[in-house]
Amino acid sequence: MSIVLLDIGNVLVDVDFMRFCRKVSRSGEVGAEAIYGRYCASELKNRFDKGLVAPSSYLETIAGDPDVDFFGARELKTAWQDIFVPKTDVPDAVGEILRNHRVWIMSDTDPLHFTHLLNTLPVLRTAERYWLSFERGYLKRESEAFQELLSVSGRDDGEFVLIDDREDNCRSAASSGIRAIRFRNWSQALQEMRTV
pLDDT of residue 70: 84
- Which stretch of DSSP H or E encloses residue 49? helix 43-49
State yes or no: pLDDT of 23 exceeds 90: yes
pLDDT of residue 71: 84
pLDDT of residue 77: 97
User: For residue 98, which of 175, 14, 193 has the smallest C-alpha distance?
Assistant: 193
pLDDT of residue 47: 98
pLDDT of residue 191: 96
Query: What confidence tier does 43 reach under pLDDT thresholds 50, 70, 90?
Result: very high
Query: What confidence tier does 195 reach under pLDDT thresholds 50, 70, 90?
Result: confident
What residues form DSSP beta bridges with 24? none
What is residue 189's three-state secondary structure? helix
Over residues 71-94, the mean pLDDT reads 96
pLDDT of residue 186: 97
User: 117-159, pLDDT tens digit by residue?
Assistant: 999 999 999 999 999 999 999 999 999 999 999 999 999 999 9
pLDDT of residue 196: 75
User: 46-56, pLDDT tens digit by residue?
Assistant: 999 999 999 99
E strands within the chain?
Answer: 3-6, 13-15, 84-86, 102-107, 129-132, 160-164, 179-182
Identify the sign of the CA torsion 102, 93, 170, 17: negative
Q: End-to-end CA distance of the chain: give it in Å, rounded.
A: 9
User: 165-186, pLDDT tens digit by residue?
Assistant: 999 999 999 999 999 999 999 9
